[in-house]
A and B are shown apart, each in its own frame.
Chain A
Amino acid sequence: MDKVVSIERASKAFGRIKAVDDLTLSLGEGEIVGFLGTNGAGKTTTIKMLLGLERPTSGSVSVFGGDPADPATRARIGYMPEIAYYYPYLNARELLAFYGGICGLDSRTIRERSEELLATVGLADAAKRPLKTYSKGMLQRAGVAQALLADPPLLVLDEPFTGLDPLARIHFRELLRDLKRRGKSVFFSSHELGETELLCDRIAIMKEGRCICQGPVADLAGGGDRNLERLFLEVLEKGGAK
């Protein structure tokens, strides 16, 4: 399996605070990896390093073998932030046209992809409504659409289930599975252990900047009465590397 993301002993410090400490993690083609941890565990900093928004203080982060700070590397990443209050004066179609332009797509591709994605995320009927009238869940769905717009081989999602109603969650889970079937790789951070368990091939659990547990979900949380929630509590209590 080719490495899509390769994080090698990466650390990121802000002054004396180590947000990420000696993290080694990889993501292969067609793989879904869940990134878990309590608030302030270093998940968002890791995601920022993956997007080239932060540079590691030591170690290395590469995406498709390239530096994520390079726009050519970022052209292959689709990112959805946890909560973004997208331009309130635009409607969903205009939002996608804007991001499509920023991705360097031509008008025809933008138009075709936008229609397809708006239908996929269930916003086709609301496509002409200003985003300021959208609910949190609808904004989240608009975020999914903008992340998928350029059909990137890697998706980086920050808390993708936040604000989604149960139906939308099921639909989104199916969408991610479909993307996996098409060979896309997905890396997402989440507090939703149930969703993570249902979706992921592998997980990594962070605590105070360190990765304290990682491996295939089936091996870590798949036996007998074990589930991801129990594993999560256990490793957080122990706090040591697993």
Chain B
Amino acid sequence: MTVFFRQAKALVRLSFLELWRRNDVFGLLILALALMVPLSMATPFGATGASRYLDEVALLLLWGFSMFVSLGVGSRLFRPEFERRTIYPLLSKPISRGCLVLGKFLGAVCASWSALALFYAVFVGSVLLRGGSLSVELAQGVALHFAFVALAVSVSMLGSLAMTPSANLTVSSIALVGMFFFGRRLPEYAGTLSAPLAWLVRLVYAMGPHAEFFDMRQRLVHGWGAVEGRVLAAVLAYGIAYSAVCLMLSAAVLKRKRV
């Protein structure tokens, strides 16, 4: 257990150093500050109540940034190891491929969470600047957002074993952004299609990563209140289960992969 803890710690540190030395996050953070601070001071048409729509814009930016960061980190987990040939010294060390997958996942999740925490710090700052207050539903939204980031990392990590980082980023983004915006409409859409296509759409709905489950933006913006605890638990369980399946698939792919 001690050895695995040390291995995981090394992989987490590696992911942190890679993320924070690439400067992407700093660029996004500056962009977030540049957009959110003016938004927090704006009172469109003098209507103070309209500020909640500014929250919607800010939250959408936050989701976009977090998706960019988590998919970027996840998509670079394995393929560059093969391209740089660092996979050889890595796999020649006393670490099993299963532990490597788990350690890399933990590293990527922790690194992405650190960036998300900073983005939320900026968001919360902008809310407080406008005289808003922190709420239970904000805490729930943050928890679900963090869970979503773990799911996004697991999806892109699986892709990183088969695709180049740019191809993986594109495919994972289409899957997650598509589900985020259109996921909830898929069953309804399937109803309007003829048999083979309808089955395909239902299959996508059944297998796809349901990013929309984790999205509490509307509740936060319109003040619809917190969700029930069991709903929150179910969505978190879905995120954990989906990530676990992706991890197991990644471990199976890496075990069979010729290096």
Contacts and interface: CB of A to CB of B under 8 A. Distances in A.
B259 A48 contact: yes
A94 B15 CA distance: 12
A86 B7 contact: no
Interface size on B, as a range, is 20 to 34
A81 B13 contact: no
Contacts of B89: 79-81, 84, 99, 143, 146-147
Interface stretch (A69-77, A117-125, A169-177): A69-77
Contacts of A90: 14, 17
Interface in A62-98: 71-72, 74-75, 77, 79-81, 83-87, 89-90, 94, 97-98
Interface in A94-117: 94, 97-106
Contacts, number: 84
B7 A101 contact: yes
A94 B17 contact: yes
Given A98-B14, A102-B95, A89 B21 contact: yes
A53 interface: yes
Interface stretch (B80-88, B137-145, B176-184): B80-88
Which of the four size classes fits the interface of chain A?
A: 35 or more
Given A81-B89, A101-B9, A104-B3, A72 B17 contact: no
Interface in B1-51: 2-3, 6-7, 9-11, 13-14, 17-18, 21-22
B96 interface: yes
A72 B13 contact: no
Given A53-B91, A89-B22, A146-B89, A100 B96 contact: no
Given A87-B14, A89-B17, A89-B21, A106 B92 contact: no
A101 B22 contact: no
Contacts of A99: 10, 89, 93
B85 A87 contact: no
A74 B10 contact: no
9 contacts: A86-B86, A87-B18, A89-B17, A99-B93, A101-B7, A102-B7, A102-B90, A104-B2, A147-B89
